[in-house]
């Protein structure tokens, strides 16, 4: 069994409630006070952030890890990279582990690019000689040659991220544990990062890759585990696991409702209520017909007036490709009219025209933001629905049509020579 | 598959050609911690360069945006020495150790300030080191011991500059340079270990109880007055028992040692032995406590 790089057996991590999100530290006074309180008054709640996790990763395998926010992915990565220790179970790892739980860990704003490369490299576990050898390569990858002697606090955020990722990307551990680092930077940079990740995978190193970006997971990994509510639900070939993940947890009736405890911290004053897909009869449905007009609506509440708010959707294929993005105030006149949206309950509703989408499954993401001010809420995988293409153009040929859209275009066949 | 079964190659594996590149790679077992654990020396050794880089970062950052830069390392002990000389020597009539001329008080005070300011700075930085590096603790693994260690080590550069002033003062006051000075690194080492030992306790406690942050400046003020920084050790005119109690403060032995090394007064005797024992006790217990708390740092911080 020496080809197993990571063997996880019944791993679990328990946190004391309160130490997880709210008060991060105690004062001596708290401890003294609790000493004199009757036992039952002490908060003795514990939650399992992760429990009974078992899986194996073969040497050279790239394993994807997907799950919603708070499902326990980060805890798993923290355990495997030894940042924190498990409460039960065990894991066995053969080989040097490099973990990238964020880019730029330990970067110091006062230090120059050069100094930070050395510092960050050392923190990530690189030897000095190793950093020296790769220095030129790192600088080139980050495209910061001209600013290498400038303190990074003067870098643009893009440069900062490029440099941070460049150092991390040149780590050469046998096992690489990566969390969401690609969720940052512009599209061009993300492509570059993904390319680099692909190289790492092809070099035969073992990679554990956590991401919300389904197309990245599909592209880079062969097998994926799905984690939900602290448990491992499935380990399967990536295509199957991603499909399962995307269709799971979102109710099958064509609507997603956010209960109070599901709303992430810090979205106020925006409070999402629900997102729904309705067919031409106004019924909430899971499957819509592409030849009819359908409606997507977002219900939400504002606890205070918001200036410049836009609420909208992303539409994605289940392969993670974006089909379009649209906001309720895309119309300039409407945006003028709604400059300030007073507190209250709202529904933003849009109509999907007939003959727009191809058959298949689609994912709706929700975004509520004020341009250049604040992103209040975002859920890139709020709801999935299926499109049935019966009656759509070209259905007399029983073949799968490529592409996420299937418009009814106006074709004319003109004979130019009889 | 059992954990032990997979952790080593069997002869059969090798015969089957299953031996891979990774067969000689380190195997890391991750399991719930149980009781007291030994210091992981292998990891400390693997990450030794990180001590250097973190120390270097602390020094670099400390002086980067200060106009006077490293000048602060020189100004602080000199100004303190001048103030002490006026207040304690001129007005309160505190005399240096017997055998040192009265007008040598400035250099006498400086010889005490030299290890004291090093200790003070090192302990201050060490006690807040874990909390101020919380971003590292929650994101990367490395032996946590490295953080307070490099905070203590960063004080050595300041010490170096102060020591240069010391040499200048010795020339100015005509203090002879002797072979005894070769003992100086030993006493510096004791000051360093004391700072590290107390720093281990305080930094780990600070993760859980931020009260420590408020306590340290206060603790250091008291500590300075129970160390012979401004006065000679002779003024502690008490019975042998109380002298032994006084010597429980390791800085007593350190400062006494510095003055012996530089001026040839009061050689460190049984009191230094008590100081040394105390350092070792503090260091041993500090290491154990730190090691025990280490695993919860990332969850508590």
Q: What is the mean pLDDT of residues B71-91?
A: 87
Q: Reduced to 3 states, what is the DSSP secondary structure of residue A340? A: strand
Give the pLDDT band (50/70/90) at residue B15: very low
* pLDDT one-digit tens code per residue, A102-141: 777 888 888 899 999 999 888 888 888 989 999 999 998 8
Contact state of B209 with A127 under an 8 Å Cβ cutoff: no
What are phi and psi for residue A170, nearest 5 degrees? -100, 10
Comparing A61 with B102, the larger pLDDT belongs to A61
- β-partners of residue A92 are A7, B29
- Which chain A residues touch B138 with a CB distance below 8 Å? 78, 83
Domain ranges for chain B, please list them.
Answer: 39-283
Please give, rounded to a whole number of angstroms, the shortest distance from the CA of A263 to a CA of chain B. Answer: 23
Contact state of A111 with B137 under an 8 Å Cβ cutoff: no
Give the pLDDT band (50/70/90) at residue B270: confident
* pLDDT one-digit tens code per residue, A348-387: 999 999 999 988 888 899 999 998 888 899 888 888 888 8
**Chain B, 178-197: which have a CB under 8 Å from a chain A CB?**
none
ipTM: 0.79
What are phi and psi for residue B290, nearest 5 degrees? -60, -45
Per residue, what are the HEC states of B160-182? HHHHHHHHHHHHHHCCCCCHHHH
Whether B255 and B228 have beta carbons less than 8 Å apart is answered as: yes
Low-confidence ranges of chain A (pLDDT < 70): 1-2, 17-44, 69, 180-188, 190, 212-215, 246-253
**Chain A, 127-186: which have a CB under 8 Å from a chain B CB?**
127-128, 151, 174
Contact state of B6 with A1 under an 8 Å Cβ cutoff: yes
On whether any CB of chain B is under 8 Å from the CB of A123, the answer is yes
Q: Reduced to 3 states, what is the DSSP secondary structure of residue B137? A: helix
On whether any CB of chain A is under 8 Å from the CB of B135, the answer is yes
B/e letters for B234-251, b = 16+ CB within 10 Å, e = fewer, are eeeeeeeeebeebbebbb
| Most confident by average pLDDT, A23-32, B57-66, B289-298 | B289-298
**Chain B, 81-100: which have a CB under 8 Å from a chain A CB?**
none
Domains, chain A, in order of start with CATH, read: 4-247 (3.40.50.300), 255-388 (2.70.50.60)
């Amino acid at each position: 069994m020496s080809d197993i790089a990571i063997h996880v057996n019944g791993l679990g991590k328990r946190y004391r409630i309160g130490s997880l999100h709210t008060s991060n530290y105690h004062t001596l006074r708290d401890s003294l006070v609790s000493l004199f309180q009757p036992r039952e008054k002490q908060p003795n709640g514990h939650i399992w952030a992760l429990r009974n996790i078992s899986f194996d990763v073969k040497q050279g395998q790239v394993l994807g890890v997907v799950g919603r926010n708070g499902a326990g992915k980060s805890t798993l990565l923290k355990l495997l990279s030894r940042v924190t220790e498990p409460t039960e179970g065990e894991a066995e790892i053969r080989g040097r582990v490099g973990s990238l739980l964020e880019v730029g860990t330990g970067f110091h704003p006062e230090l120059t690019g050069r100094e930070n490369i050395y510092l960050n490299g050392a923190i990530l576990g690189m030897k000095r000689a190793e950093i020296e050898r790769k220095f030129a390569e790192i600088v080139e990858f980050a495209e910061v040659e001209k600013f290498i002697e400038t303190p990074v606090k003067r870098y643009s955020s893009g440069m900062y991220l490029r440099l941070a990722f460049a150092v991390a990307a040149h780590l050469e551990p046998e096992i690489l544990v990566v969390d969401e680092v690609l969720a940052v930077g512009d599209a061009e940079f993300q492509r570059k990062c993904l390319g680099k990740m692909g190289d790492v995978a092809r070099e035969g190193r073992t990679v554990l890759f956590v991401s919300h970006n389904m197309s990245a997971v599909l592209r880079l990994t062969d097998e994926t585990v799905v984690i939900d509510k602290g448990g491992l639900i499935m380990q399967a070939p990536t295509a199957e696991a991603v499909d399962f993940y995307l269709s799971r947890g979102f109710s099958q009736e064509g609507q997603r409702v956010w209960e109070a405890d599901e709303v992430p911290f810090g979205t106020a004053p925006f409070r999402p209520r629900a997102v729904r897909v309705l067919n031409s009869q106004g019924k909430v449905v899971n499957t819509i017909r592409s030849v009819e007009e359908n409606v997507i609506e977002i219900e939400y509440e504002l606890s205070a007036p918001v200036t410049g708010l836009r609420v909208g959707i992303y539409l994605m294929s289940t392969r993670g490709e974006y089909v379009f993005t649209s906001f309720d105030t895309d119309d300039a006149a409407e945006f003028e009219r709604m400059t300030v949206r007073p507190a209250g309950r709202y529904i933003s509703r849009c109509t999907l025209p007939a003959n727009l989408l191809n058959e298949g499954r689609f994912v709706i993401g929700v975004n509520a933001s004020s341009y250049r001010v604040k992103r209040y809420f975002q859920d890139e995988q709020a709801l999935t629905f299926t499109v049935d293409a019966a009656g759509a153009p070209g259905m007399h040929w029983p073949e799968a049509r490529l592409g996420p859209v299937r418009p009814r275009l106006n074709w004319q066949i003109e004979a130019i020579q009889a | 598959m059992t954990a032990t079964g997979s952790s080593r190659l069997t002869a059969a594996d090798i015969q089957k050609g299953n031996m891979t590149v990774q067969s000689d790679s380190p195997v890391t077992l991750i399991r719930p911690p149980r009781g007291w654990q030994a210091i992981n020396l292998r990891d400390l050794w693997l990450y030794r360069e990180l001590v250097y880089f973190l120390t270097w970062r602390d020094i670099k950052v400390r002086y980067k945006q200060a106009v006077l830069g490293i000048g602060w390392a020189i100004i602080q002990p000199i100004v303190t020495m001048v103030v002490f000389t006026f207040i304690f020597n001129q007005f309160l009539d505190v005399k240096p150790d017997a055998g040192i001329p009265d007008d040598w008080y400035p250099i006498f005070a400086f010889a005490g300030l030299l290890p004291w300011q090093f200790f003070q700075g090192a302990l201050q930085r060490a006690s807040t080191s874990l909390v101020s590096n919380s971003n590292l603790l929650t994101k990367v693994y490395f032996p946590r011991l490295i953080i307070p260690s490099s905070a203590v080590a960063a004080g050595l550069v300041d010490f170096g500059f102060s020591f240069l002033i010391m040499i200048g003062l010795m020339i100015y006051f005509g203090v002879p340079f002797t072979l005894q000075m070769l003992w100086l690194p030993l006493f510096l080492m004791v000051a360093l270990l004391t700072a590290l030992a107390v720093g281990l306790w305080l930094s780990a406690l600070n993760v859980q109880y931020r009260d420590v942050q408020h306590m340290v400046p206060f603790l250091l003020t008291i500590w300075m007055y129970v160390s012979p920084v401004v006065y000679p050790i002779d003024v502690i005119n008490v019975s042998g028992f109380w002298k032994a109690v006084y010597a429980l403060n390791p800085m007593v032995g350190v400062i006494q040692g510095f003055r012996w090394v530089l001026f040839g007064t009061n050689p460190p005797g049984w009191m230094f032995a008590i100081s040394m024992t105390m350092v070792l006790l503090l260091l041993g217990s500090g290491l154990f406590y730190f090691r025990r708390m280490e695993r919860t740092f990332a969850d508590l911080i």
